[in-house]
Amino acid sequence: MKKKKVILITSTIITTIIILIVICFIVFNISPYDFYGKDQCPKCKSTNVGTFFYGEYEPEYEDSVTLAKVKEGVLIPGGCVINHESPKYRCNDCFFTWGKELIKP
């Protein structure tokens, strides 16, 4: 009888923890994909991944190294507007985007 009671209490605690995690994901607008790094696409598992960069276009910053990285897909222009939904990474094979760019006040 004690063993059943311990199992019931343990399963209740685990269920409560899972519910709290889901609530945190909803309240803080977090996606499970936000925890993936840039090493691998969470959707297709490709390692052909690029990083978005944001900011207004400045011709004086244009150099051959940056242009080469953009052509290779290592760097991806994200535009000059950034918000809390702006992705951080993109798979160059399936074009899935994930991660959130942190906005500094």
Structural domain for 52, as ranges: 36-105
Closest residue by Cα to residue 103 from 77, 84, 76, 80? 84
Residues 18 and 51 in one domain: no
Same domain, 47 and 18: no
Q: Which of 8-12, 55-59, 88-92, 101-105 has the lowest mean pLDDT?
A: 101-105
Do 13 and 48 belong to one domain? no
Is there a single domain that holds both residue 58 and residue 104? yes
Cα–Cα nearest to 55, from 76, 86, 73, 79: 79
Same-domain pairing of 25 and 42: no
Q: Are residues 72 and 102 in the same domain?
A: yes
Same domain, 21 and 43: no
Predicted confidence (pLDDT) per residue in 13-70, tens digit: 888 888 888 887 777 666 666 666 677 888 898 989 998 888 776 666 667 777 778 8
- Give me the number of domains the chain comprises: 2
Cα separation, 77 vs 36, in Å, equals 20
